[in-house]
Amino acid sequence: MTNNGRVLLSADRLTGNVPSLVTDFERVSAIVDRELPREIDGKAAILEMKAAEGQWRQMEWIGWYLEHFVASKVLDTVDGTTGPTYGSTTIDLMLTGPWDLKVHLMDKPATILNDAEAVHACIEEHGYINYFLLEGTATYDDDIRSFKQWHDDLKGNPSDYMKKGSATGRRSRLRKTSFRPAKMLGIHLDAAALRHGISTGAIKPFQEGMKNSNGKKRRGKYQIYPNRIDGHIINVSTDRNPAAPGQ
């Protein structure tokens, strides 16, 4: 844990990548802390992504907005580039090493990472993969689902998936209407850390054997439980600075 934005390192197993991990994390987290709104309004975020021709149609808009924010406000400032691509997965950020961006809702135990094949391929090529987790809390749609209706109206013609759901009476997930970031966490996974995380239950396979709405098999992913991470998985963290100006 941290006080007023001070970065803390947790590591029982140190490697030569630790200094660059901390430096990369400090550079990105400082900009996120300074520039990202204290509370991100869902409608405003979606409209901003729409104006930038980004992923504004996505239901889980928070993670997509973090990627949009880093690409537009962080990438050039830290002299970064988009990371490598493995199959259909593109790693979000390349600094000293590869970083992928994820959002963790603090009322949920786990966060979904990338598909397992991409994680293994990145570790094989670069020796590791780093994750930047933005942790926080969300507010949700009202009983009449007015936020969902607003988003559906903005998107216009319903997709085939939405039409099928309406025809079968499928109840859609409750939409998130805002997100309040509270903490930033950097996680370093090399082959040893990945094996350790799996053995301790800090990292688990996800959606193995599951199918998409079109019947095709989903690619197996990993999910991580931040509260189960121990010092063998090198990590750095900082709380958002409460003294910083809000937006």
Ramachandran assignment for 161, one of left (phi > 0), alpha (psi -120 to 50 degrees), beta (any other): alpha
Nearest to 193 by CA among 127, 98, 133, 95: 127
197-240 pLDDT per residue, tens: 999 999 999 976 665 555 566 689 999 999 999 988 999 999 98
Task: Please give the model's pTM, rounded to 2 decimal places.
Answer: 0.88
Cβ-proximal residues to 169 (8 Å cutoff; 6+ apart), any chain: none
> Which 8-state DSSP code applies to residue 174?
P
pLDDT tens, position by position, 16-64: 778 889 999 999 999 999 999 999 999 999 999 999 999 999 999 999 9
